[in-house]
Structure 1
Amino acid sequence: MRIRLIVAALALGMAMTPAFAANKPVRIPDAAMTQAATLREQALTSDLAYRITESITTEVGPRMAGSEGDARAVAWAQAKFKSLGYDRVWTEPVTFPKWERRSERAEVLGRHAQPLVLTALGGSPGGTVEGEVVRFTDLASLEAAPAGSLAGKIVFVDFKMERKRGGDDYGFGSRIRSRGPTTAAAKGAVGYLMQSAGTDSHRMPHTGITRFDEGVKPIPAAALSAPDSRQLSRLVAMGPQRVRLALDCGWDGEATSYNVIGEVRGSSKPDEVVLIGGHLDSWDLGTGAIDDGAGLGITMAAGAMIAKLPKRPARTIRVVAFANEEQGLYGGRAYAAKYEKDVGKHQIAAESDFGAGRIYGYASSLPESAREADEQILQALAPLGIQRLEGRGEGPGPDIGPFAQRGLAWASLAQDGTDYFDLHHTPDDTFDKVDPAAIQQNAAAYAVFAYLAASADGSFGSRPVAPATPAR
């Protein structure tokens, strides 16, 4: 899924690089602006993005990285690109550790014995553990627990995310998921439970990846559905509670999947690229409709609609279905490593990985020399209800983040994610949650953006830079 706040800070410095100031002014030809207006109206009447999303969620379904479904998704993407009329389609291998889920259960023991609905976090080891529950309200309070104070205990963090259009609270929820288990294990805990990183009230837990620091022995880690988390909180408030947690899951060697790439070749500058896309994999609980079948439907449809124009834009439109985003941005990192020397040939990139809610905002990293072109793009997007995002800290999507660190110019087409975390990483992430009208608006926006970026006279400023050293 798309977490702009994780990668935004890594790319913000790019637009401030002095070298960009030397670029000559960039604008988009009037003819291209006229064509973009026609493209926008045509896209708003097309159900292609909706049908592509229906296709992958129905014909492939769940496609966790390294699974049989993932392999079928790669074949599906190749065939779909070809059927949509893309000029060139190919794959690039991406290798990663393989994690498997087999079974999971938990129960409160003793006087108030009852089952708990949960799901293992990706990266959790298997095992059956039993212990007294120690409740924390957030990650900071867990981090403040004295060393060794949690020996033999099961840690429980019951932070509740709130609905926000930009999904802001996920920054807290995802850190509780990613850092909580290793923090608990380092302090002696034998197991870890958290309230799912989500905003729904359904009895559907949210999975997602976690990591254990080197030297820390991994412990079984799982997410409770929101009602079960609140139930456990009430029980703990009544007095000490013991829970048994039994997970059958874990890492199982390595797997290889593929970035699947389709191109609509440019008319006069085919070696220069405008990159759009989403990720091909999903978690295994639902059918990956909002995360990220919709992103593929939106961007694949946008490229296909541009391919059918009477005159192609100058630059090539490249659509990437990235491998294994969910467990560590493996496809995005592989793409960045492979094309690092070609960053200057990439005009700009934008990624759709935040569901299928209507796009309401636009932001970019473009330098001052491309300000006019940036305003022209926004002008063409405005009839879709899209406004400039000012001071929101927007950044590149997750899979283009590693390339943005290396100097790639990016744009953000911000979707309304008010209900995104009701569905994210749950069994409820299914095709019926996709709004046909909203996904049409998304496809229209991506088609307009990609077409105009590919038509601009001048560079948007992508050029090699040394990636910043992550803060410790």
Structure 2
Amino acid sequence: MRAMLSVAIATLLSGAVLSGSAFAADAAKRETRIPDQAMATAAKLRETALASDLGYRITESLTTEVGPRLAGSEADARAVAWAQAKFKELGFDKVWIEPVTFPKWERRSESAQVLGASTQPLRLTALGGSPAGTVEAEVVRFADLAALEAAAPGSLAGKIAFIDYRMERARDGAGYGPGGKVRSRGPSAAIRGGAAGYLMRSAGTDSHRMPHTGITRFDEGLTPIPSAALAVPDADQLARLLARGPVKVRMALDCGWDGTYTSHNVIGEIRGSKKPDEVVLIGGHLDSWDLGTGAIDDGAGVGLTMAAARLIGDLKQRPARTIRVVAFANEEQGLHGGKAYAAKHQPNLKQHQIGAESDFGAGRIYAYSSSAPEHAKAADAQIAQALAPLGIEYTPGKGGAGPDIGPFAEKGLAWARLAQDGTDYFDLHHTPDDTFDKIDPQALAQNVAAYAVFAYLAASAEGDFGSQPAAASTTPVGK
């Protein structure tokens, strides 16, 4: 009996070892790797991209020929036509558009001034989504959003609520989280307090008389009130006046929603050589706010990803998979293009190898990370190795998907983050100062090189990066 038991145990152990070996072999077989030849080609591609000014020229074309591109405006349609023509001019193999419908908001005029003994103008801009209206009232200052949210209901009746929160500068833009909440949640808090109007210190890090716009929201059931952002020096001026005593301000905004509009995501492809139905997705958003010409936000993102794909297309041997570039519609007012793309392409999610979006200016990329699962870690490290000569650090486990990629990442798209230096991004963001002259050609070329290397290697990988339908994943960063 004991002998029979020993044989049985030995048989079970032998089976377990064989099973474990088979599992290990299967895992090794599944491991994603990038061929040595592709790594060698990527090194050459990197140097070609660094020497190219193509991304700079594309960005110059968009910001000069179209200029500001407020979603739903006449310039929105011209931007869509420009993108289609530019993809074709660059020799993309396939170019098409996909409709994106959204509410249309218009800005017509805006002004403000201090009344009384210290009468003087204030520089402000309406927040996207604000209704029109003229409010002449006493101003009540709050140090931050929490202070306004703590105001008793009705305590601000007939007054203008003013949040004087100073956003902090950071390379990764971390200060925009609390700064953005002042813009998105402040107006509703003001309404709950009974306010007739809302002012905020701009969500920005500059010291110029350049107010920062951006979308705001009003909670359901509340009647919207005129809401605007003051240029940083004007917020300082208003705070100094308030320290001397009561201040009355007249703010007049002519803006508001005007029906719906249908724009388009514009898509171009450089077709893959062996697996053309599988895609590596890169891109930026085509729309901009109307105050500047949308150079850093996000003309540069469109320009550099178009250029990166074009340089890949120029290679003698293209990668196995297709490089797809998307110029997303109306990111600024609610990720409308990204959400539309995710909804339309969800059935083909697994055919998307990985995605990355450039939407944080035109500063040098300093870090790389992705959502790569365990079986793709080796390939992810290979991409990081190819990016290292560009001064890019490998930071696995950090960051998340870009704004327009975010809705698809929530559905399971694998994502990569090529983190740009945003130290001065919020000096320009959503202001009249967001213009082409602010772009550094060498920094933009480094971005093109990084996106070209990333997209080429991801498209050349033997194996996948983990795109898989999921209930939830990365939450996109709001704009």
Q: TM-score range with shorter-chain normalisation?
A: over 0.9
Q: Is the 8 A contact 1:99 1:249 kept in 2?
A: yes
Equivalent position SS for 2:68: coil
Q: Is the counterpart of residue 173 in structure 1 residue 176 in structure 2?
A: no
Tell me the residue number matched to 1:432: 437
Q: Is the 8 A contact 1:357 1:439 kept in 2?
A: yes
Q: Is the counterpart of residue 370 in structure 1 residue 376 in structure 2?
A: yes
Q: Is the 8 A contact 2:42 2:453 kept in 1?
A: yes
Tell me the residue number matched to 1:12: none
Q: Is the 8 A contact 1:123 1:210 kept in 2?
A: yes
Tell me the residue number matched to 1:452: 457
Which structure 2 residues correspond to residues 154-233 of structure 1 after superposition, within 5 A? Answer: 154-233=160-239
Tell me the residue number matched to 1:60: 66
Equivalent position SS for 2:158: coil
Matched to 2:61, the amino acid is: S
**Separation in structure 1 between the aligned mates of residue 358 and residue 467 of structure 2, nearest angstrom:** 20
Q: Deviations over 1:293-344 (max 9, x none)?
A: 0001110000000001001100000000000000000000000000111111
Matched to 1:190, the amino acid is: A
Q: Of 269, 275, 281, which residue of structure 1 is paired with 2:275?
A: 269
Q: Is the 8 A contact 1:23 1:369 kept in 2?
A: no
**Separation in structure 1 between the aligned mates of residue 189 and residue 78 of structure 2, nearest angstrom:** 37
Distance 1:266 1:50, change over 3 A: same
Q: Deviations over 1:189-243 (max 9, x none)?
A: 0000001000000001000000111110000000000000000001111111111
Q: Deviations over 1:59-116 (max 9, x none)?
A: 0000100001110000000000001110000000000000000000011111111110
Tell me the residue number matched to 1:18: none
Distance 1:208 1:275, change over 3 A: same
**Separation in structure 1 between the aligned mates of residue 192 and residue 150 of structure 2, nearest angstrom:** 12
**Separation in structure 1 between the aligned mates of residue 473 and residue 155 of structure 2, nearest angstrom:** 37
Which structure 2 residues correspond to residues 10-409 of structure 1 after superposition, within 5 A? Answer: 24-389=30-395, 392=398, 394-409=399-414
Equivalent position SS for 1:166: coil
Q: Is the 8 A contact 2:365 2:446 kept in 1?
A: yes
**Separation in structure 2 between the aligned mates of residue 231 and residue 251 of structure 1, nearest angstrom:** 31
Q: Deviations over 1:341-393 (max 9, x none)?
A: 1111100000000010000000100001001000000000000000022564x
**Separation in structure 2 between the aligned mates of residue 424 and residue 25 of structure 1, nearest angstrom:** 41
Tell me the residue number matched to 2:13: none
Compute the displacement of 1:147 (Å). 1.4
- Normalised by the size of structure 1, how large is the TM-score? 0.94
Compute the displacement of 1:148 (Å). 1.5
**Separation in structure 2 between the aligned mates of residue 328 and residue 84 of structure 1, nearest angstrom:** 30
Compute the displacement of 1:467 (Å). 3.0
Which 5+ residue runs of structure 1 have no aligned equivalent? 1-20
Compute the displacement of 1:131 (Å). 1.1
Identity of aligned residues (%): 74
Q: Is the 8 A contact 1:363 1:389 kept in 2?
A: yes
Tell me the residue number matched to 2:6: none
**Separation in structure 2 between the aligned mates of residue 425 and residue 466 of structure 1, nearest angstrom:** 33
Compute the displacement of 1:164 (Å). 1.0
Compute the displacement of 1:468 (Å). 6.7
Q: Is the 8 A contact 1:350 1:412 kept in 2?
A: yes
Equivalent position SS for 2:382: helix
Equivalent position SS for 2:117: helix
Q: Is the 8 A contact 1:279 1:321 kept in 2?
A: yes
Q: Deviations over 1:233-283 (max 9, x none)?
A: 011111111111100000000001000000000100011010000000000
Distance 1:80 1:334, change over 3 A: same
Distance 1:407 1:468, change over 3 A: closer
**Separation in structure 2 between the aligned mates of residue 36 and residue 234 of structure 1, nearest angstrom:** 56
Q: Quick one: higher RCO (CA 8 Å, sep 6+), 1 or 2?
A: 1
Compute the displacement of 1:172 (Å). 0.9
Equivalent position SS for 1:382: helix
Equivalent position SS for 1:110: coil
Matched to 1:441, the amino acid is: Q
- Please say which structure displays the higher CA radius of gyration: 2
Matched to 1:423, the amino acid is: L
Tell me the residue number matched to 1:411: 416
Matched to 2:254, the amino acid is: D
Tell me the residue number matched to 2:472: 467
Matched to 1:289, the amino acid is: A
Provide the aligned C-alpha RMSD in A. 1.3
Equivalent position SS for 1:302: helix
**Separation in structure 1 between the aligned mates of residue 111 and residue 321 of structure 2, nearest angstrom:** 52
